[in-house]
Amino acid sequence: MSLITWKDEFSVGVAAVDLEHRELIELINGLEAGMRECATQTMVVETLGEIYARISAHFALEEKIMRKARYDSFATHKHDHERLLDELLDVIDSVDAAGRYDRAGLSRDLDRWFSDHFRTHDAQLHQKLG
């Protein structure tokens, strides 16, 4: 069973953004599957680092599209991007420092962070671009 399942409501209607959303979901689901199989702390930190890097690049693409479209909620959307990245860095640092991770808590946070962002900020972006 996947942690996050693609839903049409996650689509913003821009092929490159939607493809990256799907790839991020696959990466997050891969991490969750690895944690179910008792992934090492090192593997979790490395995968979270990869998620962070890919999400940073993805957010830069979204922000470029929003600027070009003169999206009126750009500042709010960008702020949520920054919040998500800050929280993910805090989790990476915490798992790295503790030498262990809470699988259930980490899975819940990943699902909440990204599903909520897709359903709210990205859904609003879809309405604007659609």
Domain ranges of the chain: 13-129
Sign of the dihedral through C-alpha 56, 58, 62, 64 = positive
Q: How far is it, in rounded angstroms, from Cα 67 to Cα 33?
A: 36
- Tell me the CATH class for 13-129: mainly alpha
Q: How far is it, in rounded angstroms, from Cα 12 to Cα 16?
A: 10
Average pLDDT, the chain: 90
Mean per-residue pLDDT for 70-99?
94
pLDDT digits (tens, 9 = 90+) for 17-76: 889 989 999 999 999 999 889 889 999 999 999 999 999 999 999 999 999 999 999 999
pLDDT (0 to 100) of residue 84: 93
